[in-house]
Amino acid sequence: MSADQQEIVIRAKGLVKKFKDFKAVDGLDLTIERGMIYGFLGPNGCGKTTAMRMLTGLLTPTEGTVEVLGLSVPKDAETLKYKIGYMTQSFSLYGDLTVLENLSFMATIYGLTGKKRKQRVAEVMERYSLSDLQDRFAGKMSGGQRQRLALATAVLHEPQLLFLDEPTSAVDPESRRHFWEQLFDLVDGGTSIVVTTHFMDEAERCHKIAILENGQKRLDGAPKDLMAGMGANVVEIEGQNLRDIRRRLLGTDDIVAAAQLGARLRVLVKDEINAPVDFLKTKAETDGATLIEKVRPNLEDVFVTATGEGRQ
């Protein structure tokens, strides 16, 4: 294997997954490099989890090829499972076992024995603040505690590649922030990570993302590059009659989208318009606006331009 190939942890071409007549994933191509957090961003039902399950070998593609860590999937799925970690969307450990019992059992499943098993269990309990909870039943833990236990279990065997399916959907904002810091610690230690999310702020933390809609990849790349190349400028408007302004603008050429955020209206103007602020100020549709200014784009703006009616 060449040095260039060693830098790729996942390569997928033409992935399709059909359930009867429904295509959950439709022609997905992916190239994911080592040492990054790669995110799948999209609404529920867009194919994120199905794609992840094919990448881990849990689902057989209807069409297409997958290579993960140099192994062909699903043919080499049995070998692959010892090299990857997988944290499912719903808590999947044993509620009637303690933290220590869950970790010890899963360590055995991963083939860790004797001193190595005890050492790794102790290490992950310490790293993820579970030592004081080792005798607590998993079913009695809070959402944030369960999340830490699930992550500790997924990294017990020190996988090269970690798959996380909407890992923060059931935890509070503080736990989410702390969880992401732990993910970057793992990357610093050499782990590559694939994560699914529908939170825009989480997607912005990823090194690269793929935006999925209806089983298809609409865009992929680094968030800052996607924001720079989204084909629209972002302008915010203040005024007393924002609902009226929004309604009038949505029927106008050169307006991609308009949505109210608190006391401001966020408007996406096609980037063919060289001076979007002046353009909006001169339009009758913005009559009543007290402030119109250009602002920094975010990933939600990219999502709007790449999906649904915003697609060009």
- C-alpha–C-alpha distance, residues 271 and 51, integer Å: 33
Number of Cβ atoms within 10 Å of the Cβ of 155:
20
Q: What is the mean pLDDT of residues 44-57?
A: 92
* pLDDT at 284 exceeding the cut of 50: yes
- Which pLDDT score is estimated for 125? 95
Task: Give bridge partners of residue 209 from the DSSP assignment.
Answer: 39, 221
Strands (E), 74-207: 84-87, 161-165, 192-197
Q: Across all residues in the chain, what is the average pLDDT?
A: 92
- C-alpha–C-alpha distance, residues 253 and 19, integer Å: 39
Q: Given pLDDT bands bounded at 50, 70 and 90, which one contains residue 143?
A: confident
- Which pLDDT score is estimated for 237? 97
CB 117 within 8 A of CB 107: yes
In order of 32, 128, 142, 145, 178, the CA distances from 175 in angstroms are 27, 12, 11, 9, 5
* pLDDT at 4 exceeding the cut of 60: no
Q: pLDDT of 169-192, one tens digit each? A: 777 888 888 899 999 999 999 999
* pLDDT at 70 exceeding the cut of 80: yes
In order of 88, 122, 132, the CA distances from 41 in angstroms are 16, 34, 35
* pLDDT at 272 exceeding the cut of 70: yes
- Which pLDDT score is estimated for 309? 59
Q: Given pLDDT bands bounded at 50, 70 and 90, which one contains residue 273?
A: very high
Who has greater pLDDT, 161 or 4?
161
- Which pLDDT score is estimated for 1? 41
Q: Given pLDDT bands bounded at 50, 70 and 90, which one contains residue 242?
A: very high
* pLDDT at 112 exceeding the cut of 70: yes
Q: Which two tokens stand for residue 146?
A: 């369960």
- The number of residues making up the chain comes to 312
Q: What is the mean pLDDT of residues 117-131?
A: 95
* pLDDT at 312 exceeding the cut of 70: no
Residue limits of CATH 3.40.50.300 in the chain? 3-226
| Across 24-28, 144-148, 224-228, 257-261, least confident range | 144-148
Q: Which two tokens stand for residue 135?
A: 């005798």
* pLDDT at 144 exceeding the cut of 90: no
Which residues, in sequence order, are CB contacts of 252 under 8 Å at separation 6+?
Answer: 283, 285
- Which pLDDT score is estimated for 2? 43
- C-alpha–C-alpha distance, residues 116 and 239, integer Å: 64
CATH architecture of the region 3-226: 3-Layer(aba) Sandwich (3.40)
| Across 86-95, 235-244, 255-264, least confident range | 86-95
- At 132, give phi and psi (nearest 5°): -75, -10
Q: What is the mean pLDDT of residues 57-84?
A: 94
Residue limits of CATH 3.30.70.1510 in the chain? 231-296
* pLDDT at 37 exceeding the cut of 70: yes
CATH architecture of the region 231-296: 2-Layer Sandwich (3.30)
* pLDDT at 153 exceeding the cut of 50: yes
* pLDDT at 259 exceeding the cut of 50: yes
